[in-house]
């Protein structure tokens, strides 16, 4: 190799080293943590507490209807209207009922006159007592028919049974309706019923005579607890789910439009003699996935490292959107949304809608 080629090669090599030295090192790729929604199974963060999916209902409700058939002449209220007890909500065309009332009134007047004459005649011996009794029966029948016609005319006006709100209207104006057809759904939401289904393994251990801390939470209302009071509990299990319906009462929320049909979560304090680590725990179905061997698994959050790890469990009865699980212990923070996207030791962030550590 001549001197010129050697110098060119040396220069090219030196240039490549200089260019390499000037390049910035590749940036390390940092995996962002995945947001997850969680609940805590008992444990210190929420105390020895059980959670139950709940449904909201009105403290008093009724489907109201006319007690006679006819054509609707006027609807006075709309869905959502507040009404008072005795307020007229709708009316039927009264024409036929007024005609019937006049006919019954005429029959009554005739029967009354005949009966009054019969009283004098039987005393004078002009008619037999049997004839007198027949006229009295005709008079009583006419009076009953007249009273019925008067009542039917009153029934052409549909009135509210109690103070409440028109939740739903089932008919339109000028529609022909038959006896007992639903016209309105009337609901009293001055207070609310919160209804839960309690599994038999919990119901059998609960001391119903003891007062306990009860409150409801709603996912769309952050950081707010709504105190509850016990109202009633069924003592016969549902034949399909083997759960017992328990109803609590909640005062109407002034700042929030909580309505019948909405869902939430009830948190119920459990006493030491009621808590048994070996009993099944109810968690949302979304928290349970199957691993490669079809083994039911949940993801547990380690709050020290904010990472997740799988935990094998035994699945029990499925009740609505919840499943009874054996294998969890108080204090376990379980992922209930996003579980299918997780992997071992993945970093996570707790969503605000979940129970956060203190």
pLDDT tops 90 at residue 9: no
pLDDT of residue 272: 56
Instruction: Tell which residue, 198, 358, 195, 207, has the closest CA to residue 275.
Output: 207
HSE at residue 29, side-chain half, CA atoms within 13 A, is 1
**Report field, pTM of the whole predicted structure over 0.85:** no
pLDDT tops 60 at residue 280: yes
pLDDT digit string (tens) for 125-135? 788 888 888 99
Domain definitions of the chain by residue range: 34-48+279-350, 94-155
For residues 41 and 60, give the distance between their C-alpha atoms in angstroms, rounded to a whole number.
34
Averaged pLDDT, 60-64: 96
CATH of 34-48+279-350, one of 3.40.50.12780, 2.30.110.10, 2.40.420.20, 3.30.470.20: 2.40.420.20
What number of other Cβ atoms are within 10 A of residue 198's Cβ?
A: 22
SS3 content of the chain, % helix, strand, coil (to 5): 25, 40, 35
Q: Do 34-48+279-350 and 94-155 show the same overall fold?
A: no
User: What percent of the chain has a predicted confidence (pLDDT) above 70?
Assistant: 84
pLDDT tops 60 at residue 43: no
pLDDT tops 80 at residue 173: yes
Counting Cβ atoms within 10 Å, is residue 5 exposed (0-12), middle (13-18) or buried (19+)?
A: exposed
Lowest mean pLDDT among 137-146, 250-259, 326-335: 326-335
pLDDT of residue 21: 46
Averaged pLDDT, 285-312: 90
**How confident is the prediction for the chain on average, in pLDDT?**
84
Per-residue DSSP letter, 303:
T
Confidence of residue 48 (pLDDT cuts 50, 70, 90): low
What number of other Cβ atoms are within 10 A of residue 161's Cβ?
A: 14
pLDDT of residue 72: 97
User: What percent of the chain has a predicted confidence (pLDDT) above 90?
Assistant: 54
Q: Which residues pair with 296 in a beta bridge?
A: 290
CATH 1.10.287.470 fits 94-155, yes or no: yes
pLDDT digit string (tens) for 63-79? 999 999 999 999 999 99
Q: What 3-state DSSP class applies to 330? A: coil
Averaged pLDDT, 17-38: 59
pLDDT tops 80 at residue 20: no
């Amino acid at each position: 190799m001549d001197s010129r080629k050697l110098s060119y090669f040396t220069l090219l090599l030196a240039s490549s080293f200089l260019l390499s030295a000037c390049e910035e090192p590749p940036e390390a790729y940092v995996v962002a943590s995945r947001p997850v929604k969680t609940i805590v199974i008992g444990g210190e963060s929420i105390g020895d507490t059980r959670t139950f999916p709940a449904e909201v209902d009105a403290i008093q409700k009724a489907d109201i209807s006319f007690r006679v058939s006819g054509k609707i002449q006027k609807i006075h209220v709309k869905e959502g209207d507040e009404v008072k007890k005795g307020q007229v909500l709708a009316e039927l065309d009264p024409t036929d009922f007024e005609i019937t009332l006049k006919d019954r009134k005429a029959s009554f007047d005739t029967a009354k006159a005949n009966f009054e004459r019969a009283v004098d005649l039987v005393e004078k011996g002009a008619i037999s007592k049997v004839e007198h009794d027949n006229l009295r029966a005709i008079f009583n029948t006419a009076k009953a028919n007249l009273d019925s016609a008067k009542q039917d005319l009153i029934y052409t006006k549909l009135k509210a049974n109690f103070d409440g709100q028109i939740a739903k209207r089932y008919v339109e104006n000028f529609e022909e309706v038959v006896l007992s057809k639903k016209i309105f759904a009337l609901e009293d939401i001055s207070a609310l019923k919160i209804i839960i289904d309690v599994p038999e393994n919990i119901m059998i251990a609960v001391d119903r005579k003891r007062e306990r801390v009860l409150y409801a939470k709603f996912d769309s209302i952050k950081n707010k607890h709504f105190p509850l009071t016990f109202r009633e509990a069924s003592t016969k299990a549902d034949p399909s789910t083997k759960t017992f319906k328990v109803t609590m009462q909640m005062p109407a929320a002034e700042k929030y439009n909580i309505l019948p049909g909405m869902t939430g979560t009830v948190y119920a304090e459990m006493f030491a003699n009621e808590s048994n680590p070996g009993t099944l725990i109810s968690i949302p179905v979304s928290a349970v996935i199957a691993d490669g061997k079809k083994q039911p698994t949940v993801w547990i959050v380690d709050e020290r490292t904010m990472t997740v790890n799988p935990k094998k469990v035994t699945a029990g009865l499925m009740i609505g959107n919840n499943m009874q699980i054996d294998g969890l212990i108080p204090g376990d923070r379980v992922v209930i949304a996003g579980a299918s996207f997780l992997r071992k030791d993945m970093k996570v962030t707790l969503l605000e809608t979940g129970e956060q550590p203190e």
